[in-house]
Structure 1
Amino acid sequence: MFLQLDLFDCAEPPSKGTAESLNLPALIERITDVSARPRYAFMVLNLIAKVARKNSGSAGPYVIDQEQHIRLRDWLCDALIPVAKRDPRRLAIVEQVRAGLVAQKLLPADPTAAAHMIDEEVKVRVRQSGRCNVSRAVSDLVRAGLIRRHYQGYRVDHHNRGAKREAVYTITPAAAGALAGRL
């Protein structure tokens, strides 16, 4: 008899604990078991917990920031931009943007205005790649049983994205309890 292993089978999902049994070290261990980037996933989880509504534990589809409605994933990307400030890839993007603006003769003579223009263009480019990173981290958190994800928007709520639907992330009671410091 031949046994064929599933090539796409991931590790066993961690057991779903209750809010009373999941503390912060256990939460970190659960994230580490399913994520290739556990620190990043933990930061995403913490940010989602900060903006989650107190009564439902859900965040999204929009976050109100300085009187503006921002998509949740975009807000998460913007909040995590400072983490990569000294990353060589980020510095290379800054130089590419500067060179592109100089070549197009769009860079203002005022150094402050030029820096602001470069920062805005870098933010747009970093946000594009950051959305993918956030989605991967949230997928890891869903696999860990710490977040539930659905999409809300045009017509009806749905578990699949598309049709102008935006992500809504709901933090589980176990994760909320661990982040709040309850044992």
Structure 2
Amino acid sequence: MGKTATNVGQILDRLSEVSSRPRYAFAVLNLLAEQAGPGSKVGPFIQDENEVLPLRAWVGKRLSRLSGRSQRRKKIEQRVREELADKLPDDLFEAQRVIDAAVEEHVRATGADNFSRVVTELERAGYVARYYEGYRTNHANRGGLRNLVCVLDADVSAALRRRDMLV
């Protein structure tokens, strides 16, 4: 695909050159490598616990857990609380569950959007190629919406699975 990497250190070096958020890009690359099947292909859907999610939504869900303690998440919670003030139930515990669900949905959607930007940076690094399956393409989900599929560089996938030189 491009510059190939034989170890994790080289992957991190390349990401620091091409990515505005290399740690985030590395986390996404690791998630993709974890799910890569034959031919280093990931997607268009991922089985996660009891649900099947499109690749973008799955990554958004996995990375939403990273934002659990951030000040930004607290600001999102405050904004959601203000928006839903008239619609919240009287029971405080139920109200908090509603707020938490709305915040989680917002964070997941943001994570999915950020994933698209990071995939562009991973393409620039030569570590990922992407294409879409779905509407107007010849595959099993013909007639469905377009769904993202990522193909990892074989050397990068092998290096991440081997974890021989984690920095």
Shorter-chain-normalised TM-score: which range? 0.7 to 0.9
Q: Which amino acid aligns with 1:26?
A: Q
**Residue 16 (structure 1) aligned with residue 3 (structure 2):** yes
**Residue 67 (structure 1) aligned with residue 54 (structure 2):** no
CA RMSD of aligned residues (A): 2.1
**Residue 153 (structure 1) aligned with residue 137 (structure 2):** no
Q: Could you list the runs of 4 or more consecutive aligned residues of structure 1 that deviate by over 4 angstroms after TM superposition?
A: none
Q: Which amino acid aligns with 2:130?
A: R
Other-structure match for 1:178: 159
- Whole-angstrom distance in 1 between the partners of 2:109 and 2:47: 20
- From 84, 89, 92, the equivalent of 1:101 is 84
Q: Which amino acid aligns with 1:16?
A: K
Classify 1:56/1:113 alpha carbon distance in 2 versus 1 (closer, same or farther; 3 Å): farther
Deviation by residue 1:131-169 (Cα, 9 ceiling, x = unmatched): 2211111111111111111101123169xxxx8211101
Q: Which amino acid aligns with 2:76?
A: I
**Could you list the runs of 5+ residues in structure 1 that have no partner in the other structure?**
1-13
Classify 1:63/1:15 alpha carbon distance in 2 versus 1 (closer, same or farther; 3 Å): closer
- Whole-angstrom distance in 1 between the partners of 2:25 and 2:152: 13
Other-structure match for 2:61: 78
- Contact map agreement 1:24 1:181 (CA 8 A) in 2: no
- Whole-angstrom distance in 1 between the partners of 2:135 and 2:53: 17
- Whole-angstrom distance in 1 between the partners of 2:161 and 2:45: 23
Deviation by residue 1:92-127 (Cα, 9 ceiling, x = unmatched): 11011112222x2x2123333222211111122223
Classify 1:171/1:157 alpha carbon distance in 2 versus 1 (closer, same or farther; 3 Å): farther
Deviation by residue 1:48-87 (Cα, 9 ceiling, x = unmatched): 111122x221111111112322111111011111222222
- Three-state SS of the structure 1 residue aligned to 2:39 is coil
Other-structure match for 2:29: 45
Aligned residue pairs: how many? Answer: 160
TM-score of the aligned structures, taking structure 1 as reference length: 0.79
Q: Which has the larger radius of gyration?
A: 1
**Residue 31 (structure 1) aligned with residue 18 (structure 2):** no
Structure number with the higher helix fraction is: 2
Residue 88 of structure 1 deviates from its aligned partner by 2.1
Residue 182 of structure 1 deviates from its aligned partner by 6.5
Other-structure match for 1:9: none
